[in-house]
Amino acid sequence: MLALGSRLAERGHSVTLETWSRWREHVEGAGMRFVAAPEHPVFPTREHPVKPYEAVVLGTPITRRAIAAAHPDVVVHDILTLAPAMAGELEGLPVATLIPHVHPAGGPELPPYAFGARPPRTAAGRALWRALEGRVEGGLRRGRFELNETRARLGLAPIDRLHGGISEELCLVGTFPQLEYPRPWPEGTRVVGPFLWEPPAADVEPPPGEEPLILIAPSTAQDPEHRLLRAALAGLAREPVRVLAAWNRRPITRPLPVPANARLVEWVSYARTMPRCDLVVCHAGHGTLARALASGCPVLTVPAAGDMNENAARVDWAGAGVRLPWRLLSPATLRLAVRRALSEPGLAARARELGAWAQVNDGATRAAELVEALAS
């Protein structure tokens, strides 16, 4: 959203961005107007049970007032934040959806999203995914029922489509088209390329030498015990590589030995560092993975949870990296995976192809053009 909003502001538009207060400095620094987003519990806990879409019901009236005050020509919402979409619809405005990763909807004979499985190559594989289609559709129908209950509480008419949280007018998919499995797209869906943005960061020098440079780029949301970081520093200690590792401002609670061929830092600019790297090792969060590929750098993915499994499968399928299952992570397995990634020239060549594509296909610019067309 910061990438898209910044690009729209650069193009001379008046942009209001509603988000959490922690991002205010970056929003205003890019020439946008900041509005604090309502923060309500989304997932139920024992202490705070919430109904499905309860945060949407609570947040929609607040966001609707912010929209009315801004008088926009169009509303763009993140796929996970439905309150702005509902509020924009109530105000009679065109609404676009931004998906900041691969599209979560499946297709005929494709594995369900987040399974981390590749498309089938045999009749047996196709039969397996067909057998699951009924269960997946049942879950989508349940979601549609709950969403229509929410729409009724807000005074909106029910919808028939299963992916009701995604706009039919314009859906911006912020990933590489090379990571999307072949399938027919709805009329309003556009795969525009990744939205690349990062906060300011000081320059960081890697360890000296001419050996291949490996960047360890852990998730800022998963792996609180730093399993990936520890496995990488231990597993690569005696390898003929240089290791630049970041702990990404997540506390390290136990001693973490740093070998002579490595440097451990608090934070690093991916935009300035990844183009210098020979390999990026990450959990396969989409932002990190997309930045690496846009930099022309292959990736070793070690997916920890959620859509990371899907992202890892996509980059493996696209031929721009390798994946190591989380359950198999150890210093020895990571070392072997790094050796494999560095020894296969096709991976680096494919990553360079994606990097070249990104150089001439800026996702934020293409999305801004589409938002302008929708607004007009």
Three-state SS letters, 234-272? HHCCCCCCEEEEECCCCCCCCCCCCCCCEEEECCCCHHH
- List, for residues 317-352, the tens digit of each pLDDT value: 999 999 999 999 999 999 999 999 999 999 999 999
Compare 88 and 250 and report the one with higher pLDDT.
88
Which pTM was predicted? 0.93
177-202: average pLDDT: 93
State how far Cα 280 lies from the chain centre. Answer: 16
Q: In the numeric block, which tokens belong to residue 146?
A: 């709950």
Cα dihedral sign for 153, 157, 160, 165?
negative
pLDDT at 183: 87
- What are the Cα distances from residue 342, in Å, to 154, 213, 268? 54, 10, 22
Give the residue carrying structure tokens 């000296």. Answer: 208
193-207: average pLDDT: 93
Task: Output the average pLDDT for the chain.
Answer: 94
pLDDT at 44 over 70: no
Residues with Cβ within 8 Å of residue 10, at least 6 apart in sequence: 31
pLDDT at 358 over 80: yes
pLDDT at 91 over 90: yes
Q: Which of 279, 241, 197 shows the shortest CA–CA distance to 30?
A: 197
pLDDT at 218 over 90: yes
Q: Which 8-state DSSP code applies to residue 376?
A: -
pLDDT at 45 over 80: no
Q: In which band, very low, low, confident or very high, does the pLDDT at 49 lie, cut at 50, 70 and 90?
A: low
Integer Cα distance of 335 and 261 in angstroms? 14
pLDDT at 53: 83
Which of 300-304's residues contact partners 24+ apart within 8 Å by CB, and which partners? 300/324, 300/334, 300/337, 300/338, 300/341, 302/228, 302/326, 302/329, 302/334, 303/116, 304/219, 304/222, 304/223, 304/228
